[in-house]
């Protein structure tokens, strides 16, 4: 049943700009609070596996375990559908060969179960679930050109779109901008007298290159997924081998600080052969390529601080990459979209409609602090002076996390680190006394007596 606001601010209709992951999660929540929800998407989402609005979709996408938990709750039955359609189940710590911060994670058969699925299939099945709801409607092929403001520009009353060379006005009690990194919301707000938000950016100059492969018949390995992380400053190249539906691998090569993997075949293969560990090249050389090689470079961490504005129109919120976009290498984007929808649900249940906008943006910003710090802590060092000076806290956390990883052979440390990386546990859990005290003692001794950190033996070839 729809929930309603005050008489002068009803919750009859909501419009969502963008039919990607953030928009789909938002629509799922809004359907519990509004009589009608309209998702406006400029692409034709039924036209094929790739669509222009999501160039990143050709590359690896990982739903972290916190995202899996939310998906299970908000989209009941979807996980079973994905598995039936061929998405491989994944025991994360048992079936992943993972190189994290320079050390190989040990393998444990713990109850940390998820699945590995392409962005395309996950998004398609989420849309199908939403289309079964009587009060959720999709308008494809619609490009939003501006917002509708009321007479004194204090409230948004919908959006103006173009479709088939026609202008369409969609009225709404709440407008949700989930249009992504290229959102024009700051410009639209400025046109009606609102201040532009302060912006933060950390760009480690990361580049991707991806190719899809058929998994060979009879393939045998002691892993199902491969994650090769980087380590500042000596390991700037990494990779992911992700199993997805259709008996396929998505192989994404990653390079920091301008060390971008080439998109020609010879260069792509040479980059893979030069990685730490043989797993990626072993898989590629045994498999049949199914696609060409595609690059991707738009990877900076970017935060528009709408929460810091003093004035904000009623009837408007923003979430997803429209607010905060992360370096995709940390696989946080889809899960943060799910967490943003959780924040939206809580705010809709507890805030009067007239106060909804800034209340939501400020609560969203509090949630974003953890994934932002996780994504930018290492990227600050790769970005160097281009990112500005890292704070004392940032420098401390860099060093502390390295020390945690040095102890990752212990099961309790490994599990704690894993849960933080998957946004299940807050970073403060890395500071429980049994883990923190010996690390802080060793850091204090190093500060007093000096000393240089040895390169992990696992990396010496």
Q: List the chain domain ranges.
A: 13-61+120-201+299-374, 89-116+203-296, 389-459
Residues 413-440: what's their mean pLDDT? 93
Peptide bond connecting 209 to the previous residue in cis, omega within 30 degrees of 0: no
Residue 290, token pair as written in the block: 């199914």
Residues 366-383: what's their mean pLDDT? 90
Looking at residue 1, its pLDDT comes to 33
Task: Estimate to the nearest angstrom the gap between the alpha carbon of 95 and the chain centroid.
Answer: 22
Helix (H) / strand (E) element for 168: namely: strand 166-171
Considering the chain, what percentage of its residues have pLDDT values greater than 70? 91
Q: At residue 405, does pLDDT exceed 90?
A: no
Looking at residue 355, its pLDDT comes to 73
Handedness of CA 209, 178, 24, 64 (dihedral sign): positive
User: Between residues 272 and 57, which one has the greater pLDDT?
Assistant: 272
Handedness of CA 350, 323, 393, 422 (dihedral sign): positive
Q: At residue 440, does pLDDT exceed 50?
A: yes
Q: Which of 46-60, 151-165, 385-399 is the most confident on average?
A: 151-165
Strand partners, 232: none
Residues 131-153: what's their mean pLDDT? 93
Q: At residue 8, does pLDDT exceed 80?
A: no
Residues 84-111: what's their mean pLDDT? 90
Q: At residue 166, does pLDDT exceed 80?
A: yes
Looking at residue 110, its pLDDT comes to 84
Q: At residue 331, does pLDDT exceed 70?
A: yes
Looking at residue 258, its pLDDT comes to 93
Burial 13-26 (b: 16+ CB within 10 A, else e): bbbbbbbbbbbbbb
Among 39-53, 73-87, 220-234, the least confident range: 39-53
Residues 411-439: what's their mean pLDDT? 93
What count of Cα atoms within 13 Å lies in the side-chain half-sphere of residue 437? 3
Q: At residue 395, does pLDDT exceed 60?
A: yes
Looking at residue 133, its pLDDT comes to 96
What integer best gives the mean pLDDT of the chain? 90
89-116+203-296: CATH topology is D-Amino Acid Oxidase; Chain A, domain 2 (3.30.9)
Residue of 311, 325, 322 whose CA lies nearest to 358: 311
- DSSP conformational letter for 275: S
Looking at residue 232, its pLDDT comes to 85
Other C-beta atoms within 10 Å of 371: how many? 21
Among 10-14, 26-30, 180-184, 349-353, the least confident range: 349-353
Considering the chain, what percentage of its residues have pLDDT values greater than 90? 73
| Alpha-helix residue ranges (DSSP H) falling in 384-425 | 392-406, 411-421
Q: In 3-state terms, what secondary structure has residue 304?
A: strand
Looking at residue 52, its pLDDT comes to 66
Q: In 3-state terms, what secondary structure has residue 128?
A: helix
Other C-beta atoms within 10 Å of 395: how many? 14
Helix (H) / strand (E) element for 99: namely: strand 96-100
CATH of 13-61+120-201+299-374, one of 3.20.20.220, 1.10.3720.10, 3.40.50.740, 3.50.50.60: 3.50.50.60
- Confidence category of residue 6, pLDDT binned at 50, 70, 90: very low
Residue 92, token pair as written in the block: 């994360």
Q: Which residue has the tokens 């004392």?
A: 392
| pTM of the predicted structure, to 2 decimals | 0.92
> pLDDT digits over 55-76, tens only?
677 899 999 999 999 999 999 9
> pLDDT digits over 277-325, tens only?
899 999 999 999 999 999 999 999 999 999 999 999 999 999 999 999 9
Residue 192, token pair as written in the block: 């009606």
Angle at 365 between CA 364 and CA 366, to 5 degrees: 90
> pLDDT digits over 12-57, tens only?
999 999 999 999 999 999 999 999 999 999 988 765 666 766 767 7
């Amino acid at each position: 049943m729809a929930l309603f606001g005050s008489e002068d601010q009803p919750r009859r209709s909501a419009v969502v700009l963008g039919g990607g992951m953030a928009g789909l999660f938002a629509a799922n929540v809004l359907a519990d609070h509004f009589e009608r929800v309209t998702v406006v998407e400029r692409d034709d989402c039924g036209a094929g596996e790739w669509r222009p609005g999501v160039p990143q979709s050709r590359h690896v996408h990982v739903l972290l375990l916190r995202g899996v938990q939310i998906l299970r709750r908000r989209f009941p039955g979807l996980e079973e559908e994905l598995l039936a359609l061929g998405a491989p189940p994944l025991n994360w710590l048992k079936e992943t060969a993972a190189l994290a911060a320079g050390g190989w994670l040990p393998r444990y058969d713990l109850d940390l179960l998820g699945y590995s699925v392409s962005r395309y299939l996950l998004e398609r099945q989420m849309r199908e679930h939403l289309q079964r709801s009587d009060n959720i409607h999709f308008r494809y092929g619609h490009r939003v050109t501006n917002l509708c403001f009321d007479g004194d520009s204090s409230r948004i009353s919908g959006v103006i779109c173009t479709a088939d060379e026609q202008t369409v006005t969609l009225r709404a009690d709440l407008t949700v901008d989930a249009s992504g990194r290229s959102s024009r919301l700051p410009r639209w707000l400025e046109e009606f007298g609102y201040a532009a938000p302060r912006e933060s950016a950390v760009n480690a100059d990361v580049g991707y290159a991806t190719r899809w492969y058929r998994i060979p018949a009879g393939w045998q390995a002691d892993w199902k997924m491969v994650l090769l992380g980087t380590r500042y400053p000596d390991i700037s190249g990494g990779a992911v081998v992700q199993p997805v539906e259709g008996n396929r691998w998505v192989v994404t090569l990653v390079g920091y600080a301008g060390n971008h993997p080439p998109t020609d075949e010879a260069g792509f293969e040479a980059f893979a052969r030069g990685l730490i560990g043989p797993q990626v090249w072993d898989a590629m050389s045994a498999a049949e390529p199914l696609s060409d090689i595609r690059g991707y470079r738009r990877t900076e961490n970017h935060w528009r601080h709408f929460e810091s504005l003093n004035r904000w129109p009623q009837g408007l919120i923003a979430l997803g990459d429209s607010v905060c976009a992360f370096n995709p290498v940390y696989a946080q984007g889809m899960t943060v979209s799910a967490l943003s929808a959780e924040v939206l649900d809580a705010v809709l249940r507890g805030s009067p409609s007239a106060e909804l906008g800034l209340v939501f943006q400020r609560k969203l910003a509090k949630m974003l602090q953890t994934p932002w710090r996780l994504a930018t802590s290492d990227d600050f060092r790769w970005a160097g002076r281009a990112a500005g000076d890292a704070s004392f806290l940032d420098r401390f956390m860099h060093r502390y996390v390295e020390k945690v990883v040095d102890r990752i052979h212990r099961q309790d440390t490994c599990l704690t680190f894993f849960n933080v990386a998957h946004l299940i546990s807050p970073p403060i859990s890395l500071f429980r006394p049994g883990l923190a005290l010996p690390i802080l003692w060793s850091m204090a001794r190093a500060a007093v007596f000096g000393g240089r950190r040895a390169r992990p033996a696992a990396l010496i070839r």
